[in-house]
Amino acid sequence: MDTILVVNAGSSSVKFQVFSVEGASGLGRQMKGQVDGIGHQPRLRVSDARGVSLVDRTYPAETISDVAAGMNIAGEWLREEQAISPIAVGHRVVHGGPDYSGPVLIDHDVVTRLAQFASLAPLHQPHNLAPIRSILNNFPNMPQVACFDTAFHRTHGPLADHYAIPDDLYKLGIRRYGFHGLSYEYIANRLAEAAPEISHGRVIIAHLGNGASMCALRDGLSCESTMGFTALDGLPMGTRSGQIDPGVVLYLLNERGMSGPDVQKFLYNECGLKGLSGISSDMRDLESNPDPRAALAIEYFIYRIGLNAGMLAAALQGLDAFVFTAGIGENSVRIRSKVVERLSWLGAKLDPERNERHAQCISSAASRFPIYIIPTDEEAMIAQHTLATLGNTPEMN
């Protein structure tokens, strides 16, 4: 049986999934797993498509000291204990820069070009590239496909794509890319099945997780996003600041004596919900904490979602549907309820009972537009892109 391996590597974990290629019937998810705790308490966990555990194994810290070693352990388990030898590996790569508007077969030249964007996505890009390099070195004949979070937003028009800076800088690649594109692309495809009557309309998708952004779709294509040149912009996130006056950065550099790397670390790791609350970057912790600072962070998050929804509705010149997705969007009854309250001026009305049970459509009959919860599946999108790049295009089951 032919299989596709999908890899999503982070700073201290490697998540992976295996999909079977099932001819005309499409792709079938076989297993999902991760190696986490890399560098301090490594652990390999894998379950099958029904959620049944296949392995749960810990390792000495020195055995898996980095992401590449984590990928090697996962690959060894797949080959030796599951007899899985994929026909290709698909990778999530956060930043494709101006060079890549779609998935691409990976070689050393591609890796070199993608490494140039590491400073634009320091929480992701170096770790995305680590398992790619490992597989290139150990299995040079294995086809690998890079699937970019920026690619879906390449349909932006020039007004959404530009900053008000000289054109020579735009030509160098300083532009508004947008991120979470694999998630938005998956949701756009699901909308065509779940709600075909609005899938070609004006839709706002709120990808709310530890990383958070929003996207405006028209006719299933991205026309505006809250994120820009980097994944720092837009909504406040777990540890990222979101939108901030560039003058703050200048002040930190010129008046507070911070270096460029210091500011980068600060904006990516010490701000957002964590910085505002002083408690946690995890929304679940904040929702269960009575501290007023936790309440402020939550309300700020909701307020900014409301502001950005207004901006995106203006870009669309109207609104036909609103979609919640990702960890917070899919699971937090409270956040969804509060966001919909913020959208009441647009005519949004919630059905509390549907919201409580996480129904697919949570709007009431009186709402001017439908409001959905649609779970995202970036790995499924990567599997589809990987197979299509190899010359085959079956649909996901």
**Residues noted as catalytic:** 149
Distance separating alpha carbons of residues 382 and 90, to the nearest angstrom: 6
Distance separating alpha carbons of residues 364 and 169, to the nearest angstrom: 47
Distance separating alpha carbons of residues 95 and 381, to the nearest angstrom: 16
| Geometric angle at alpha carbon 343, from 342 and 348, rounded to 5° | 135
| Geometric angle at alpha carbon 65, from 59 and 66, rounded to 5° | 120
Beta carbons of 172 and 162 less than 8 angstroms apart: no
Distance separating alpha carbons of residues 193 and 383, to the nearest angstrom: 19
Give the DSSP per-residue string, 123-176. Answer: TTHHHHHHHHHHHHHH-TTS-EEEEESSGGGGG--HHHH--SS-HHHHHTT-S-
Beta carbons of 375 and 330 less than 8 angstroms apart: yes
Residue with tokens 């406040």: 236
Beta carbons of 54 and 48 less than 8 angstroms apart: yes
Distance separating alpha carbons of residues 14 and 34, to the nearest angstrom: 5
**Nearest 5°: phi and psi at 109?**
-65, -40
Helix axes 378-389, 181-194, angle to 10 degrees: 90
Q: Is 92 exposed, middle or buried (0-12, 13-18, 19+ CB in 10 A)?
A: buried
Beta carbons of 8 and 33 less than 8 angstroms apart: no
Residue with tokens 């070609």: 200
**Which ranges of the chain does DSSP label H, i.e. alpha helix?**
67-82, 108-115, 125-138, 158-161, 167-171, 181-194, 246-254, 260-269, 272-277, 283-287, 292-316, 326-331, 333-342, 352-356, 378-389
